[in-house]
């Protein structure tokens, strides 16, 4: 019997269709856009690269296990679970043990394991919408019936409605997301207790998803505090956000009852967590303080952005996460597209009419501000400076200036308002420098816009130098003839172990005295040796005398930041109008080039 030609066999198979489950036919996989844009603010990632010390620690940790990759990993991730219990134990009065900790490849896999263990055919789960969009997919994969209970008009959980749904449906799983995604709002403890009581009364597991826990505002509680009170409680968390390990995929759960972890061991796949993943997570936990310092910066940036959105006339929800949900646009699709056209990618979440922006670096956040103003027709136009003649001399009515500086190495735009509120929109491409200029604006009471494009492929020197020169020139122009001003200002500013003294004289004569410890290192892409050069550049073009002395300090970040805060306070006092000063505050009669 002769064989059929190969082409005939292929033809015979051409009508074959894979026997996909009926409920999966036509379903698209989950995934937010991953686009190569300047500001990717759509998936709530930590925007900061891992600090060098953490990179080194992770590299050493991974190197220590590489030779043994021919063997399977510790299937129970024993050392990592001990470290996670120690880390999370600081937030709960309960005495945590590693037997209460479960760890997997991201909190998504943790949640999937929980559905495998406590959901399934004939069982149900419920949560409160709008919320994280993956929950129904866990239910679909495990054949668990799923129900959304709508939140109220202010995106709060209606407790009476929640308890009624639990009583009616008798679910085996109740999920509360706090802080909630996409709203960023946290559930008050009293409400969480009522839901926990309702779930416990009907034998349901209460899973509190705390993926954004480390970003909570001061005073916002964690569900970990309730572990001793509710045996049905499980708190899930991730190392993707606060620890900046989205690419490593590490999530974990803390259960009130170790029997929950025993059940999760049954449904996991063998050796589910690689030795490399465990090594990465252990190294990161060993540098938690360093990584959580970045979280503190992101919280500050979030709160500044929230205040800005409100000041611009948008509606925004107070957030305990690393993102903000806001509304107040006529056509969110058009605004989303207009932002993307400017290199800013944000998210269109479930509630119609709302948008969600992740908190990025200071420069990314400033890029978002400018892009959103343009996208919504709010693009600011600086008022031309006008003056009036008073007994104090010819004074600017609105002390503003706009300076553009262009060289072969950079293009700089600076706009300054000496009588501002501390608002800033800064984008230089050097994140830490952006953060410092924001400090100068905030604590100096200046409104400051900075846009710099420089040769960062070389290093940050030209970008920082040219920006500082333009900033000094803008301050000089905004000051006018300096009539009616205090002229002098000084400040003594602490920042933890650091103490900085500064003094400013609007003398018209550039002179700098600068003393700081010899700390030479990179803060991100910022070289700490640039700090003196910044003051030299500002002094030269602002035509001022500046003294800066670091009296104590050992942390490079603190040493630099305290200088900017101190100079800001000194400058704020010096440029303040004084009704007792008649004319120019100098016996020479001039403070411009004297």
Identify the band that residue 199 occupies on the pLDDT scale cut at 50, 70 and 90. very high
The radius of gyration computed from the CA coordinates of the chain, to the nearest angstrom, equals 29
Highest mean predicted confidence (pLDDT) among 254-258, 307-311, 372-376, 412-416: 254-258
Mean pLDDT over 486-507 rounds to 94
How large is the average pLDDT for residues 489-507? 95
Q: Looking at residue 110, what is its pLDDT?
A: 98
The pLDDT assigned to 383 comes to 40
- Establish whether the linkage from the previous residue to 92 is cis, with ω within 30° of 0: no
- Band (pLDDT 50/70/90 cuts) for residue 31 is confident
Question: Would you state the pLDDT for residue 439?
Answer: 95
DSSP string, 223-258: GGGGTTT-TTEEEEEESSSTT--TTT--EEEEESSH
Q: Do domains 52-286 and 387-574 have the same CATH topology?
A: no
Instruction: List the alpha helices (DSSP H) in 250-342.
Output: 258-267, 275-285, 288-311, 332-341
> What is the separation, in whole angstroms, between the first and last Cα of the chain?
109
Mean pLDDT to the nearest integer, 203-232: 96
Q: What percent of the chain has pLDDT over 90?
A: 75
Q: Is pLDDT at 291 greater than 70 in this prediction?
A: yes
Asked if the model's pLDDT at residue 3 lies above 70, the reply is no
pLDDT tens readout for residues 149-167: 999 999 999 999 999 999 9
Cβ 227 vs Cβ 92: under 8 Å: yes
Tens of pLDDT, residue by residue over 165-197, are 999 999 999 999 999 999 999 999 999 999 999
**In the chain, where are the structural domains located?**
52-286, 292-375, 387-574
* Average pLDDT in the chain: 91
Give 387's pLDDT tier (boundaries 50, 70, 90): very low
% of residues, the chain, pLDDT over 70: 94
CATH fold, domain 387-574, is Ribosomal Protein S5; domain 2 (3.30.230)
Instruction: Give the pLDDT score at 390.
Output: 46
Residue 29's pLDDT is what? 87
Instruction: Name the CATH architecture for the domain at 52-286.
Output: 3-Layer(aba) Sandwich (3.40)
Element housing 524 (H / E): none
Average pLDDT over residues 424-451: 94
Task: Tell me the mean pLDDT in the region 348-369.
Answer: 91
Region 532-542: mean pLDDT is 95
Asked if 87 contacts 285 with a C-beta cutoff of 8 angstroms, the reply is yes
- Which CATH fold would you assign to the domain 292-375? 3.90.1150
C-alpha span between 188 and 179 (Å, rounded) = 10
- Check residue 13 and give its pLDDT: 61
Work out the average pLDDT over 475-482. Answer: 90
Q: What is the mean pLDDT of residues 98-111?
A: 97
pTM score, whole prediction: 0.67
What's residue 579's pLDDT? Answer: 76
pLDDT at 577 over 90: no
Tell which wins on pLDDT, 52 or 322. Answer: 322
- pLDDT greater than 70 at residue 12: no
- CA neighbor of 265 nearest in space, from 88, 100, 65, 89: 100
Lowest mean pLDDT among 29-43, 250-264, 375-389: 375-389
User: What span, in angstroms and rounded, lies between the C-alpha atoms of 87 and 526?
Assistant: 31
Angle, helix 362-375 to helix 431-444, in steps of 10 degrees: 70
Over residues 435-451, the mean pLDDT reads 94
Residue 525 reports pLDDT greater than 90: no
Query: Confidence class of residue 4 from pLDDT cuts 50, 70 and 90?
Result: low
State the Cα–Cα distance between residues 204 and 84, nearest whole angstrom: 25
HEC per residue, 83-127: HHHHHHHHHCCCCCCHHHEEEECHHHHHHHHHHHHHCCCCCEEEE
Residue 521: pLDDT band with limits 50, 70, 90: confident
- Confidence category of residue 389, pLDDT binned at 50, 70, 90: very low
Q: Are 378 and 372 in contact (CB under 8 A)?
A: yes
Q: How confident is the model at residue 258 (pLDDT cuts 50, 70, 90)?
A: very high
Angstrom distances, CA of residue 87 to CA of 51, 67, 177, 250, 299: 20, 28, 21, 14, 20
Mean pLDDT of 393-419: 81
- Alpha helices by DSSP H, listed for 543-584, are 556-574
The reported pLDDT for the residue numbered 593 is 60
User: What is the signed CA dihedral for 124, 128, 133, 137, rounded to 10 degrees?
Assistant: 0
Give the pLDDT band of residue 524 (cuts 50, 70, 90): confident
Q: What pLDDT does residue 392 have? A: 39
Q: Is a pLDDT exceeding 70 seen at residue 537? A: yes
Strands 410-417 and 447-454 come out as antiparallel
Residue 280 pLDDT > 60: yes
What residues pair up with 323 in beta bridges, in sequence order? 358
**589: confidence class by pLDDT, cuts 50, 70, 90:** confident
């Amino acid at each position: 019997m002769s064989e059929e030609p190969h082409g005939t066999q292929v033809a015979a198979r051409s009508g074959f269709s894979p026997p996909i489950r009926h409920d999966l036919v036509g379903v698209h996989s989950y995934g937010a856009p991953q686009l190569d844009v300047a500001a990717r603010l759509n998936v709530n990632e930590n925007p900061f690269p891992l600090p060098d010390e953490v990179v080194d620690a992770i590299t050493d940790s991974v190197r220590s296990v590489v030779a043994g990759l021919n063997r399977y990993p510790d299937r129970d991730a024993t050392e990592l679970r001990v470290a996670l219990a120690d880390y999370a134990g600081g937030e709960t009065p309960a005495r945590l043990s590693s037997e209460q900790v479960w760890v997997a490849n991201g909190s998504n896999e943790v949640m999937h394991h929980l559905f495998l263990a406590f959901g399934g055919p004939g069982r149900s789960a419920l949560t409160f919408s709008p919320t994280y969009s993956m929950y129904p997919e866990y239910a679909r994969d495990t054949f668990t019936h799923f129900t959304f209970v709508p939140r109220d008009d202010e995106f709060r959980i209606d407790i009476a409605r929640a308890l009624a749904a639990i009583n009616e449906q008798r679910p085996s799983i109740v999920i509360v997301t706090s802080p909630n995604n996409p709203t960023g709002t946290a559930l008050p403890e009293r409400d969480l207790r009522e839901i926990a009581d309702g779930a416990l009364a009907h034998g349901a597991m209460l899973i509190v998803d705390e993926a954004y826990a480390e970003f909570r505002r001061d005073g916002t509680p964690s569900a970990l505090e309730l572990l001793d009170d509710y045996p049905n409680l499980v708190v899930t968390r991730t190392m993707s956000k606060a620890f900046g390990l989205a690419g490593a995929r590490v999530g974990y759960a803390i259960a009130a009852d170790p029997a929950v972890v025993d059940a999760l061991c049954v449904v996991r796949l063998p050796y589910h967590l690689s030795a490399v993943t465990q090594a990465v997570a252990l190294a990161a936990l060993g540098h938690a303080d360093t990584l959580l310092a970045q979280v503190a910066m992101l919280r500050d940036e979030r709160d500044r952005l929230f205040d800005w959105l409100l000041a611009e006339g948008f509606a925004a929800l107070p957030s305990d996460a690393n993102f903000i949900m806001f509304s107040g646009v006529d056509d969110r699709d058009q605004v989303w597209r207009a932002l993307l056209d400017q290199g800013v990618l944000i998210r269109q979440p479930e509630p119609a009419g709302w948008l969600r922006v992740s908190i990025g670096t200071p420069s990314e956040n400033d890029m978002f501000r400018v892009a959103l103003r343009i996208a919504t027709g709010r693009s600011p136009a600086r008022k031309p400076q006008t003056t009036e003649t008073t007994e104090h001399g010819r004074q600017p009515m609105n002390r503003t200036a706009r300076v553009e500086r262009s060289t072969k190495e950079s293009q700089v735009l600076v706009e300054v308002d000496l009588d501002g509120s501390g608002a800033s929109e800064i984008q230089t491409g050097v994140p830490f420098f952006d953060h410092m200029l924001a400090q100068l604006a905030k604590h100096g009471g200046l409104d400051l816009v900075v846009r710099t494009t420089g040769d960062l492929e070389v290093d940050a020197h030209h970008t920082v130098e040219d920006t500082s020169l333009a900033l000094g020139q803008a301050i000089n122009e905004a000051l006018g003839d300096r009539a009616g001003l205090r002229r002098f200002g000084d400040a003594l500013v602490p920042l933890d172990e650091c103490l900085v003294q500064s003094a400013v004289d609007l003398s018209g004569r550039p002179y700098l005295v600068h003393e700081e410890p010899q700390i030479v290192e990179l803060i991100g892409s910022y070289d700490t040796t640039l700090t003196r050069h910044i003051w030299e550049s500002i002094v030269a073009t602002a035509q001022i005398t500046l003294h800066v002395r670091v009296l104590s300090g050992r942390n490079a970040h603190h040493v630099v930041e305290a200088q900017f805060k101190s100079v800001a306070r000194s400058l704020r006092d010096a440029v303040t109008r004084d009704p007792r000063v008649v004319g120019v505050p100098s016996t020479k009669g001039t403070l411009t080039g004297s």
